[in-house]
Structure 1
Amino acid sequence: MNHFAHLLRAEWTKFVTVRGWVLGMLTAAIVTVLVGLVGSGGGGFSCAGPNGQACPDRTPPIGPDGTAVTDAFNFVHQPLTGNGSIAVKVSSLTDPQSGGSPQPWAKAGILVKDGVRQGSAYAAVMLTGARGVRMQYDYTHDIAGTPGTDPRWLRLTRTGDTILAEESADGARWQSVGTAELRGLPSTVEVGMFATSPDAVAKSGGPGDPTTVSAGFEGVGLRGQWGGTWASDKIGDRGGVFERVGSAFVLSGAGDIAPVVVRRGSLAKTVESGLVGAFAGLIVVTVVAGLTVTGEYRRGLIRTTLTASPRRGLVLAAKSVVLGGTAFVTGLVAAAVAIPVVTAIQRGKGFPILPVSGATEAGVIVGIAALLAVTAILTSAVGVILRRAAGVVTAVVVAMVLPYLLAIASVLPEGMGEWLLRLTPAAAFAVQQSLPEYAHVAAAYTPANGYFPLPSWGGFAVLCGYTALAIGVAAVVLRRRDA
């Protein structure tokens, strides 16, 4: 242990005494921040409403857990005070324009909501265009019920903060779909029928044409203390029609009740928008790490190092720790500066910023730092194997940066970019993804839209696997080959 500590001290001293290496790491941090600033400073938009009116606020509503959400639907409702239930038969679900089947995630059913404010807590049970019966609540939660599109009876029962969702084929025999706990639900809530249909997804990955769903409701049954009068609200102002014929209701609506996802062409910005310079910083770190190793071979200093410490495996480990640690601090400082500064600039320009938790933002910052650290270690191992700076930098950049750029540029056949980000070291760029995919939201979850095929830890593990392999090969080469 004392010997390894001595090696660490020696490698650290060697690193800080070469001014070019230290300046290189500082440059990596500066480049990461500056590229982010250039990217944020170059974009912008202007808007003028009719007759000089202000443009609508583009900031999305925020759900109960802090998630940015879409909350737009046609809602026919009454106030319910205290406990109670509503049951209804969804007798039809169609696309009013074509008369055929609606979008797969078009939805109509019954809903309990904390008022009519967008983003407020809710729980709903619904029949969808092609995903069967679902219970969804607070935007991010989805529970599957019976598949199919046949007419179904649906029921919601409120008991305090607990909402029970049930379904039935005949209105007599009921089965549970799921339950939701809506903490802090007020005594009086708005409950009723709703209809909404999300926009189609364009081939480009951006939002497609708006869609509409029309739903028929029959046999509404109420229990509890109700307001007695049905009110109609178009939450989110996406339009829709409400008709009542005797005891039957017909609603049409457009929009969605779901978390916001990133789509191509969207004005919304995410935490990782401030990290567009990370790949440039990574290239600089790769150059510095490559030079620290190959420079010793070029000048013959490696002979002195190995003579002073014949245990070559420990020498390699010490170099890895020093380079990795230095790169980690570089990435940590750069990301911690770039994200809040770029976010502030984008917010000042009027771009909506999709919020994430403090833990998620910290995870992205630490993830970028770890990405740079492991890339530096990978580069040092490749440096021991190849010994030529140009070859080392080219090999690592081709393995790390090129697959990432090809994947996000969408120049490859569909799906190939995702495989590149599963199988190459570039998979580690997944550490910068801050927004999850949602199974109940139709979208193009592609690298071009900022979604990676592996979770953050999975992509980082791929890079670690390549690095471990490179270190193993480097250790064998270092033992068998003369300095």
Structure 2
Amino acid sequence: MPGRGAMTGASTRSGTGDPVRSLRTAWTGFRRARGRVAATAAGALAVVLLGLASAAGSHTSCSAGAVEVACPALPVGPGGEAVEDKFFFVHRALTGDGGITARVTSLTGVIRKPDAVPGVRNVVAGVVPWAKAGVMVKESIEQGSSYAAVMVTGAHGVRMQHDFTHDVAGRPGGVSEGSPRWLRLVRSGDTLIGYESADGAHWSEVGTARLPGLQATVEIGLFAASPGDLTVTPGALGGSASRFSEATAAFDRVTLEGGTAGGEWREDDVGVTGEPGGSPHHPGRTSESGGAFSVTGNGDIAPSTGGQTLERTLVGLPAGLIAVIVVAVMSATAEHRYGLGRTAPPARPRRGRVPAAGAAVVAAVAFAAGLAATAVTLTAGSRILRANGNQVLPVSWLTEVRVVVGTAALFAVAAVLSFALGVLFRRGTGAIPAAVALIVLPHLLATVSVLPDSAAQWLLRVTPAAGFAIQQSIPQYAHVLGHYAPSAGFYPLAPWAGLGVLTAWAAVALLGCGWLLRRRDV
């Protein structure tokens, strides 16, 4: 050991003025330290093995009576995202340009609440915030097909939505017989424009949607939908539950323009599921009298945020990061122990180059290990999940690349922060617990439901654990009510913003290292 320390120190002194030589020296020192190489490999292997074991243990099936069968595939929208597309539709065929105008005079509904008395259904009157009813143009009644709609909602006023992910707000407020809402949707080629009015005479535009490739003949009509009533249990170990709801809208003054003359109104319960005996489960319905319609529906027309996500296979990430932390701190404390960074007085202004080279090497190694582990885990893990009947929410290839490369960057930046803490503490007994407490512990506390959602979100905004947001593949949607909490896989910051918080911590720690090295030179 003394001979090795002397050799390393001599190499450092001769190379302090040359960044390339400093990097080469740091890399040579790292690869010769077999314990650090083994620990890095073990961390990557932990990510893979824990992820694949988790995927192998997850099984999903659906029942058809007493028989378990594969669950139906999730509908996919025009953008390739998984969607909810379930509603009741009263419609006609429209060929070419045209439009529909209708007045909505009420929006009511019922919600299934937890039973107060066992065996007695507790159904109360009420409308959930994102219950919706209005006028729609849809390419076909096939789930996931392109559409545009103007609607009234339970608590979010008038909206124009199209192709599931797009939402534009109109005027706020509810609807009643004393305060009805007029809605209009006009098609011109593949462009649809939505309007609203309080009196049917003065109209204001809500929004415009372009549906590229929209076929000549589409379906146009009235619809109603009501997503489940979401209940979130506050506090530690809280959770969420969604209960059945349905909405009923009253329409009158319905007029059609364009190529719909002579057609008959058709009724479709889009996306309805069947009972074991074949009858529809929670069917919608409609009635018509004197040109006035009552339309009742349940379900939703929106992106799907339920189901398995790609990053659920990365359960071994904390274990892998702990290995990276240990390796980075060991590298930093070895430099102090063997005299790395100590130079002759003339070289003191460049004294930080050797620690910087060490940080760069551990970052590069951590990035490579994280890249390989994440790529293998996501690819193999998602295949295992699907083979076990799980519905894995689809994402674009760009999102997959961002998750893989971003997670590797998470490893690299965490390694830099840990290395800097090693330089500051000089001893692994202080630096390793500090790095784990800063990077890994907040994430674990926030995601295992031991903290209230507000506290969990605060932790993942201000601590280095914010970097875990880089792995989130499904975004939050403002027009979809969901339990957007860390325990459900949703982070309070956008993916790159979360990684930016971790990077800022690493930068501050590196600046602290530079300041400390200059103080030690004085």
Q: Deviations over 1:116-143 (max 9, x none)?
A: 0000000000011111100000000000
Q: Which residue of 2 aligns with 1:352?
A: 391
Q: Which residue of 1 aligns with 2:300?
A: 256
Q: Deviations over 1:212-268 (max 9, x none)?
A: 101100011011111510010001115212111121000111000000114xxxxx2
Q: Which residue of 2 aligns with 1:265?
A: none
Of the three residues 211, 214, 222, the one matched with 2:245 is: 211
**Letter in structure 2 aligned against 1:454:** L
Q: Which residue of 2 aligns with 1:29?
A: 44
Q: Which residue of 1 aligns with 2:278?
A: none
Q: Deviations over 1:160-204 (max 9, x none)?
A: 000111111111221111110001111100110000000011215
Moved over 2 A (4+): 45-48, 51-56, 96-101, 204-207, 295-298, 300-311, 478-483
Describe the shift of the 1:44–1:56 C-alpha distance in structure 2 as closer, same or farther (beyond 3 A): closer
Q: Deviations over 1:296-355 (max 9, x none)?
A: 334x34376779964221112111111111111111111111101000000000000101
CA distance in 2, matches of 1:51, 1:421: 44
CA distance in 1, matches of 2:347, 2:55: 49
Matches within 5 A, 1:47-126: 47-50=62-65, 52=67, 54=69, 56-57=71-72, 59-96=73-110, 100-126=125-151
Counterpart secondary structure, 1:284: helix
**Aligned residue-pair number:** 476
CA distance in 2, matches of 1:157, 1:14: 70
Q: Which residue of 1 aligns with 2:116?
A: none
- With 1-10 and 220-229 compared, the bigger mean Cα shift is at 1-10
**Letter in structure 1 aligned against 2:154:** G
**Letter in structure 1 aligned against 2:138:** K
- With 67-76 and 166-175 compared, the bigger mean Cα shift is at 166-175
Of the three residues 265, 270, 273, the one matched with 1:230 is: 265
The answer to whether the 8 Å contact 1:101/1:129 transfers is: no
Q: Deviations over 1:377-425 (max 9, x none)?
A: 1111111111111211100000111111111122123401100011111
Q: CA deviation at 1:479?
A: 2.9
Matched, 1:397 2:439: no
CA distance in 2, matches of 1:395, 1:389: 9
Matches within 5 A, 1:296-307: 296-298=335-337, 300-302=338-340
**Letter in structure 1 aligned against 2:186:** T
The answer to whether the 8 Å contact 1:384/1:478 transfers is: no
CA distance in 1, matches of 2:71, 2:512: 59
The RMSD of aligned alpha carbons is 2.0
**Letter in structure 2 aligned against 1:174:** W
Of the three residues 48, 56, 66, the one matched with 1:41 is: 56
Q: Which residue of 1 aligns with 2:221?
A: 192
Q: Percent identity?
A: 47
Matched, 1:13 2:28: yes
Q: Which residue of 2 aligns with 1:148?
A: 173
Of the three residues 356, 363, 370, the one matched with 1:331 is: 370
The answer to whether the 8 Å contact 2:285/2:295 transfers is: yes
Q: Which runs of 5+ in 2 are unaligned?
A: 1-15, 112-122, 234-238, 273-281
The answer to whether the 8 Å contact 2:128/2:155 transfers is: yes
Q: CA deviation at 1:49?
A: 1.6
Q: CA deviation at 1:481?
A: 2.8
Q: Which runs of 5+ in 1 are unaligned?
A: 263-267
Q: Which residue of 2 aligns with 1:137?
A: 162
The answer to whether the 8 Å contact 1:309/1:315 transfers is: no
CA distance in 1, matches of 2:432, 2:210: 54
Q: Deviations over 1:24-73 (max 9, x none)?
A: 2111211111110111122224444216474541x320000001000000
Matched, 1:415 2:454: yes
**Letter in structure 1 aligned against 2:367:** F
Q: Which residue of 2 aligns with 1:284?
A: 323
- With 14-23 and 441-450 compared, the bigger mean Cα shift is at 14-23
TM-score, length-normalised on structure 2? Answer: 0.88
- With 155-164 and 271-280 compared, the bigger mean Cα shift is at 271-280
Describe the shift of the 1:88–1:284 C-alpha distance in structure 2 as closer, same or farther (beyond 3 A): same
Matched, 1:477 2:516: yes
**Letter in structure 2 aligned against 1:144:** A
**Letter in structure 2 aligned against 1:209:** R
**Letter in structure 1 aligned against 2:19:** F
**Letter in structure 1 aligned against 2:300:** D
Q: CA deviation at 1:469?
A: 1.2
Q: CA deviation at 1:207?
A: 3.8
Q: CA deviation at 1:444?
A: 1.2
**Letter in structure 2 aligned against 1:11:** A
- With 97-106 and 160-169 compared, the bigger mean Cα shift is at 97-106
CA distance in 2, matches of 1:76, 1:294: 72
Q: Which residue of 2 aligns with 1:274?
A: 313
CA distance in 2, matches of 1:48, 1:149: 40
**Letter in structure 1 aligned against 2:357:** A
TM-score, length-normalised on structure 1? Answer: 0.95
The answer to whether the 8 Å contact 2:341/2:352 transfers is: no
The answer to whether the 8 Å contact 2:331/2:358 transfers is: no
The answer to whether the 8 Å contact 1:41/1:345 transfers is: yes
The answer to whether the 8 Å contact 2:98/2:257 transfers is: yes
Of the three residues 200, 208, 211, the one matched with 1:182 is: 211
Q: Which residue of 1 aligns with 2:8?
A: none
CA distance in 2, matches of 1:46, 1:229: 40
The answer to whether the 8 Å contact 1:93/1:101 transfers is: no
Q: CA deviation at 1:277?
A: 1.1
The answer to whether the 8 Å contact 2:100/2:186 transfers is: yes
Q: Deviations over 1:418-452 (max 9, x none)?
A: 00011111111100011111110011110011111
The answer to whether the 8 Å contact 2:417/2:506 transfers is: yes
**Letter in structure 1 aligned against 2:372:** V
Describe the shift of the 1:482–1:291 C-alpha distance in structure 2 as closer, same or farther (beyond 3 A): farther
The answer to whether the 8 Å contact 1:217/1:248 transfers is: yes
The answer to whether the 8 Å contact 2:227/2:298 transfers is: yes
The answer to whether the 8 Å contact 1:60/1:68 transfers is: yes
